[in-house]
Amino acid sequence: MVKKWTGLAGVLLFSGACATMAPPPPAFYIENPSTSISTGLSLDARIAVDEVWTLLRQGRADKAEKALLRLGEKHPFFEAGMGYVALLRDDYAGAEARFQGSIRAVPELIAAQLGIGQVYQKLGRREDALKSYLEVLKRDPANAFATGEAGVLRTAIVEALQAEAEEAIRTGRPAEAKDAYLRLLEYSPKLQGAHLALARIFVQEKNFAGVLFHLRTAIGNDPKDKTALREYAEALYQMNQFSRSLDTFQRLLTLDPADKPAKERVEALKVRLGIIDLPEEYGDISGLEAVTKEAVAALIGAKFEDIRTDAAGPPPVIVDISTSWARTYIVKAAAFGIMEVFSNHTFQPKKILTRAEMAETLIRLVEYLKKKGRPIVAQIPEDRIRIADVPQEHPFVRPITSAVSYQLMDLSKERTFRPELTVSGAEAIRILDLLAGLSK
């Protein structure tokens, strides 16, 4: 009996020695061959490619390599297949070279882009890997593997760059922090903290163009971000753009009326600008869907120091502004001929201004400022301007053409001005800020 068991054990050991152990499956993803490329091959060639891909998924590197060599080096799947063979052998340099060769030869072969992306991940080159997956998503937006890996990589890259930037700030290396934050924004353009951090670095560098760009972007991403608004207002103050700083601090106060530092800044700016008693209604102008005559008069008075301080001679007779919150500004604007008083001595402060009337007010203001010696130069010669909906006989053709020539007001893509439309409060503020900048 013992002899029988010994003989049986020997047979089993011999059989085990002769059997081939199946290799483990690959620890990476292998995309199916691209259908668009496979359809151009013969049936035998497609079968051969399927055989190669089956061997690759089984982890049989040697057999897959032999099958690929039978396909030949000029075969469109050859380099990508050899890239996966190299990956099975943990030959990352060889795999990278093969996949790069495949991408150069057949750019639309998604399997190669996915392969090189996985090589870069194994080498720790996360940013290169993400770029590879994004290339895949350009060609195949629904590719599940690329979508998942790109999301994971993007999060990891953003977290790593954020940590790198914060460490650089902590250890007093602002230039390195700036580089890390700028790279971070390539992957997460709306990351609020990165924009604020860059703005603070640019403040240290006295690069106010950079400061304003990142703070404006932050406010655009979140108009209610009080930190971004406060730092934007302070930056404008440091640049001596006091009127715009005041407007921004007032926006901050609309979000938080109890903000004591903002209140103090507003009061200081009012004194600096000569606005001792700026009415509460002034702060509401930016939210108006359509500006009134009194609102525009107040904006002009607040933003142009000459109008506040110059003696205007005898005030005009106006019979309907006693209850207007902007009466002081209306009297000034009317006295200097910037805004119209009607023949019956009414101003009609609640009247909504059209774009045509806004253009007329702007050009009267431009003429007043030029008489004061302000260097305001037209950007486009008037004789080159053609406006589709403002013919020569239009009653406002001259001020509209002039407003466009100074680039204070814009035409649509169809070269129309739309003179009958209204002007929002935010747009009126933007236009008058632009003129204030041109007149310095």
Query: Domain total for the chain?
Result: 3
Q: In the listed set 255, 278, 301, which residue is the last one of a domain according to the structure?
A: 278
For residues 422 and 303, membership in a common domain is answered with yes
Residue 245 amino acid letter? S
For residues 223 and 313, membership in a common domain is answered with no
What residues make up the domain containing 46? 35-123
Using DSSP's 3-state secondary structure scheme, residue 264 falls into helix
- Listed in sequence order, the residues at least 6 apart from 381 whose beta carbon sits closer than 8 Å to its beta carbon are 405
For residues 340 and 298, membership in a common domain is answered with yes
Structure tokens at 415: 């070269």
Structure tokens at 211: 């400061």
For residues 105 and 214, membership in a common domain is answered with no
For residues 420 and 300, membership in a common domain is answered with yes
For residues 362 and 426, membership in a common domain is answered with yes
421 within a domain of the structure (yes/no): yes
Between CA 241 and CA 234 the distance in angstroms is 10
156 within a domain of the structure (yes/no): no
pTM of the model: 0.52
172 within a domain of the structure (yes/no): no
Q: Where are the alpha helices (DSSP H) in 89-224?
A: 92-105, 110-122, 126-139, 144-170, 174-187, 192-205, 208-221
429 within a domain of the structure (yes/no): yes
299 within a domain of the structure (yes/no): yes
347 near 331, Cβ under 8 Å?
no
For residues 386 and 316, membership in a common domain is answered with yes
304 within a domain of the structure (yes/no): yes
For residues 292 and 428, membership in a common domain is answered with yes
DSSP 351-417: PBPBHHHHHHHHHHHHHHHHHTT-----SS-GGG---TT--TTSTTHHHHHHHHHTTSS---TTS--
Q: Give, for all 440 residues of the chain, the pLDDT tens digit.
A: 444 444 444 444 444 444 456 677 788 899 888 766 766 677 887 888 889 999 999 999 999 999 999 989 989 899 999 999 999 999 999 999 999 999 999 998 899 999 999 999 999 999 999 999 999 999 999 999 999 999 999 999 999 999 999 999 999 999 999 999 999 999 999 999 999 999 999 999 999 899 999 999 999 999 999 999 999 999 999 888 888 999 999 999 999 999 999 999 998 888 777 665 567 888 899 999 999 999 999 999 888 877 766 766 677 899 999 999 999 899 989 999 999 999 999 999 999 999 999 999 999 999 999 988 888 888 999 988 999 999 999 999 999 999 999 999 999 989 999 999 999 999 999 999 999 888 77
Buried b (16+ CB within 10 A) or exposed e, 139-176: ebeebebbeebbeebbeebbeebbebbeebbeeeebee
Between CA 42 and CA 63 the distance in angstroms is 22
For residues 296 and 431, membership in a common domain is answered with yes
Using DSSP's 3-state secondary structure scheme, residue 320 falls into coil
Between CA 249 and CA 232 the distance in angstroms is 9
154 within a domain of the structure (yes/no): no
For residues 306 and 430, membership in a common domain is answered with yes
406 within a domain of the structure (yes/no): yes
Q: What is the CATH number of the domain that holds 214?
A: 1.25.40.10
Task: Give me the phi and psi of 180, to 5 degrees please.
Answer: -65, -40
